[in-house]
Structure 1
């Protein structure tokens, strides 16, 4: 019997914390006077990092070259961080090198001062057994693979872990098991999905059938759709389910001599469709050639081996029928010939075969390239600071862009998606006002931006520009990072001042010049959307009741940052919270505020917010921090606020700092009686050190370029109470959050 992934594991995944900065990536402009007279970009990049290791604080950071990506006459050198030769998950350095050996920009997201013991207490088999117990399913060796890694999102939360990859619904899933203490500490799906047709619509008339050359077919396997030295294979689904290792496929032989000339079978229920296999091979080979020849990506490594499965429709998992997805794949997994490291599954569909729409294959292939060439993997839905949507939205928007660019058509999926097709020519709104937290919808902003740049500068320049920006990003990138990557790549590709100004204008028009994890509210009231637990649950296959029972608390898509003026004596945080869809206003929400760092709202650390209002059952609340608060208002501190909700429905948020005083008539006292935030009941003393580490000294040759300028406060001592993670409890230590005042509003 098919089992779904336990909901508690998604909550456990919240334990991985991230950098405390609103914008995690540090950006540094290169030194214009520094030249490394070498023709090898890796040598130039490595030498530069060594020369500036003190300013960049890289003295104790072990970096190993991961990949070199050409960008016309430039090169992007990507380094992965290691600790005692073990990979440090999600930590990297990127150096853009000019043709003369100069360094244009450095982007860093590294863990400094690691002290992780590299010797595990648990064995690989122990770790696999922990995952099997959590999933309630057996995981024999062919179905799971474990390797040692280091997790180091915060200095106080670093650990040695077993990374366990196993096949679950919708592709490969990755689990992390504490290699010293045991226990699953994080989980994420590695699959990327595109929506299939759900509702019946009129079919789109496809172009006339033409005969095209199928490039790259392997002479060693002349009777099947296998090419590029067997790195690309296309199979037709026959029976079974990839989840259970019993997949049956076949490869259609040529129809006439060496040619594959088939007529499409437009009836998804009408038996075999070898035409769909030919479509899968032709378009996979076409986009592979584009990335190799136009963008210069070396795809010779075994990590690029790919199987495309068409007509996928397992009876045990009917939801696959109307979907397509990409997923990295574990080695030696039974059921797929050729031992590929990646798969793309194209569902049979209920009315239109997804293999007949090349938009779908090209979209999924771009996910495959992002994963293998850029290490841009799917992020967890949550991190220490709440819900995470922008990395996946960038992934979806850029996949739409390259699908449309290769087909020279801004419409994505007009055949397969019908009414849900995405038109990149249509305005998609702004950040943050029009973002809802769903990756495909939010990705429309990226898709529309990149397609607009293509209309301005032409396909060739825009393709290089977009890929150049992508190659600078890490897996926790924000829309702001993507904008910075575009501007840096435009300068590196010798766009003139007017063209760069055009890009800046397009970014500003969409709010991407100010779209990181924390939004400034100094004189800027912010309006945004907040997902409800019911909406989040529907994305994961659960009801709102399931989400509440598992302890989920939804967080705002953004945090809100306020930097006081030196003469300020208080901060009034004004929040309006209402049902975005109308109807019920029964509500339960809260405001949490932290000084000098983003507010930790999900963590395995017992971190208390500095201030909290909880619970709030009205549509309007104000949190006032002044000299009477504990701790008192400090004009030298930066304040970060997050909104948390236990409501099923999505909310409309309006967040403002220090609004004009307009108390309603006959509202009674200006200030309601002070009410302390609820204490979780733990008799624990935590010591908070607010001293920030020194900034790296910057010379005229090395200076920040729009990167993170916030300081990291040393975290409180760690208390690993894993059951608190599973229930998503916000712990409050004995030092209570400041009493806050709620001003009544009608």
Structure 2
């Protein structure tokens, strides 16, 4: 029983965050089903490959009575990366929709040619960080229409490094399948905040109540401040790192309210650990949490995989960490508590780490179960900008639902659409919460940015003209299409539009790696059922943007001049086999047709 539970946990928590399948099955109809999970499993099992065992993960309930039952997939005792399934059941107990992997030929022999020690040696060759035996697992890698027996390795990376790497190799020949970073990041040197879009301080209620007043902590969300107490912690790699301690710095005034003054002055000591940053982060993360609970119609719903979700403000890194503003890795500097912690010009969401696996943020910073991290930057504080907080929170939502990451493969080559749509959805819901299509006016207001926001959902970006292979740049044509359709609706219908998109995300839980058109079709189909008047608007918007009927990534070039990358991307990205999982040579993201 314990081994079965460990396998289930490995499938549901470890593999799911970046899970991807090349193609998936989708079904709609009306079939009566009993109200228990076992009956739902039997029903959906008829649609999944016969050799796959489906194990219930949980159930999502919506205010209209609908339930979505989610399943993890196991193949002969091995976790299946990307093999999950979901069943949507209405209030009358009628199965209305199911998503599941398509029929794929699984390997007949699950005994690997490479044993675990040999696999660990091969995997370690792809990482500069140590890889321990208990961080190596055998599983099924399902992608690009192929099921492969694979060894997965998770290098032990210190918490001082904002990165979490997963490496996969073929279990028989040792070929590298992928080497990807599971941490979701916002563009570096950019900040987002309220001070520009809404410069007047207002007295507003905390969207989520605290368990105890004055703690900025509750059952769904915990906010911490990164405070430098000169702490040095040993790592598993033979060196130590100077890290901050996570504390609650925000205190209540005599009125019983938070009446903290903002302090975001570049280079000022008081700004490095200001409690207003922690309060701002909690307020906006709580606002996002209650927004999604509202879409689900259940104020008690758990929206993210981790409960409570931890958020960290004023994140700074040790000088010499290699990830800060001072350049190269230097262990002696990284371990020196007399040096100040360096600015971190970024923000990111890190997915949960399964039980028994090395958790850098848990071991070094005490943040178990994944979390959101907002840097105290060289010029501005990321946690001050609500747009940034909403964006990173939506990454946590995508992590529990669609699990979009990396690249997909179609007849035009590789496409960054999964990662781009992850970014696009993060931007879309950030704008929906804020009520503003401009993202990060404060964080993007740097001198080199000319005071412009980070991105805008009101844009003329299309496929293929604005496709580069960089996920943030490639996101705007998708998010822009969604925003154009939403903007044509009444305020009431906009809420229904958002709820339908969110429900579709919950139903399609990481069962395949979609291209733009595949996910667009899922969203249009969902609206056809939930808000029929909005479906043709979204379809037309996706068509105008070149997403539907297909994002044909072929650019015509009439002369012999170099093909220029889109201005917002600055360059084309050429992903390799390690980041895409393809065999042989990795095709490009854009083709050029000389006319």
TM range (shorter): 0.7 to 0.9
- Once the two structures are superposed, what CA deviation does each residue of 1:45-84 show, in whole Å capped at 9, x if it has no partner? 434334xx3xx46333322233433454433333332112
Q: Which residue of 2 aligns with 1:388?
A: 415
Contact 2:292 2:303 (C-alpha < 8 Å) held by counterparts = no
Tell me which residue corresponds to 1:454: 486
Give the deviation of 1:360 after TM superposition.
0.5
Q: Structure 1 length normalisation: TM-score?
A: 0.60
How many angstroms does 1:43 deviate by?
A: 5.4
- Per the alignment, residue 556 of structure 1 pairs with none
CA gap of 1:165–1:64, structure 2 versus 1, over 3 A, is farther
Q: Distance in 2 between matches of 1:117 and 1:406?
A: 49
Aligned pair partner of 2:520 in 483, 487, 494: 483
Deviation at 1:206, TM superposition (A): 4.0
1:505 corresponds to: 540
Measured at CA, do residues 529 and 246 of structure 1 come closer, stay the same or move farther in structure 2, by a change above 3 Å? farther
Map of 1:80-119 to 2, 5 A cutoff?
80-110=72-102, 112-115=104-107, 117-118=109-110
Aligned partner of 1:248 among 240, 244, 250? 244
Deviation by residue 1:529-581 (Cα, 9 ceiling, x = unmatched): 99xxxxxxxxxxxxxxxxxxxxxxxxxxxxxxxxxxxxxxxxxxxx9985223
Distance 1:120 1:232, change over 3 A: farther
Cα contact 2:315–2:373 (8 A) shared by 1: yes
SS of match in other structure, 2:80: strand
Give a deviation string over 1:299-341, Cα, whole Å, max 9, x none: 2887344322222232232257221111124365455555421
Cα distance in 1 for partners of 2:582, 2:474 equals 29
Alignment partner of 1:327 out of 350, 362, 383:
350
1:514 is paired with a residue whose SS is coil
8 Å Cα contact 1:196-1:354 kept in structure 2: no
1:309: which partner in 2? 312
Change beyond 3 A, Cα 1:390–1:414: same
| 1:149 alignment partner, one of 139, 146, 160 | 139
CA offset at residue 429 of structure 1?
2.6
Gap change, CA 1:218 and 1:113, over 3 Å in 2 = same
Q: How does 1:323-402 map onto structure 2 within 5 Å?
A: 323-330=346-353, 332-333=359-360, 334-335=362-363, 338-371=366-399, 373-374=400-401, 376-379=403-406, 386-402=413-429
Aligned mates of 2:85, 2:394 — CA distance in 1 = 22
Q: CA deviation at 1:159?
A: 0.8
The equivalent residue for 1:60 is 51
Cα distance in 1 between the residues matched to 2:470 and 2:172: 36
Contact 2:375 2:381 in 1 (8 A): yes
Distance 1:461 1:17 in 2: 28
- SS of the equivalent of 2:281 reads helix
TM superposition shift of 1:345: 1.6
Structure 1 residues without counterparts, runs of 5 or longer: 1-15, 520-525, 531-574, 583-600, 608-641, 646-650, 657-746
Q: Once the 2 structures are TM-superposed, how far is the Cα of residue 505 of structure 1 from its aligned partner?
A: 1.9
> Cα–Cα, structure 1 residues 417 and 490, in superposed 2: closer, same or farther, change >3 Å?
same
Partner in structure 1 of residue 157 of structure 2: 167
Q: Is the 8 A contact 2:418 2:515 kept in 1?
A: yes
Report the aligned-residue RMSD: 4.1
1:453 CA drift (Å): 3.0
Give the SS at the match of 1:365: helix
Could you list the per-position Cα deviations for residues 475-512 of structure 1 after superposition, in whole angstroms to 9, with x for gaps in the alignment? 5111112221112211331x23x433223222222222
Q: Structure 1 residues 87, 390: closer, same or farther in 2, change over 3 A? A: same
Helix, strand or coil at the partner of 1:104: strand
- Structure 1, 315-324 or 114-123: larger mean CA deviation: 114-123
- TM-score scaled by length of structure 2: 0.74
Q: Of the candidates 503, 528, 531, which is equivalent to residue 468 of structure 1?
A: 503
Do 2:51 and 2:75's aligned partners in 1 also have CA atoms closer than 8 Å? no
Secondary structure of residue in 2 paired with 1:463: helix
Paired position in structure 1 for 2:470 = 438
Q: Rate the CA distance shift 1:116–1:154 in 2: closer, same or farther, 3 A.
A: farther
| SS of alignment partner, residue 226 of structure 1 | coil
1:579 to 2:562 alignment: yes
Q: Which residue of 1 aligns with 2:11?
A: none
Separation (CA, whole Å) in 2 of partners of 1:17 and 1:290: 26
Tell me the distance in 2 between the aligned counterparts of 1:502 and 1:248. 49
C-alpha deviation, 1:398, in angstroms: 0.8
SS at match of 1:325: strand
Between structure 1 and structure 2, the one with the greater Rg is 1
SS of the residue corresponding to residue 284 of structure 2 reads helix
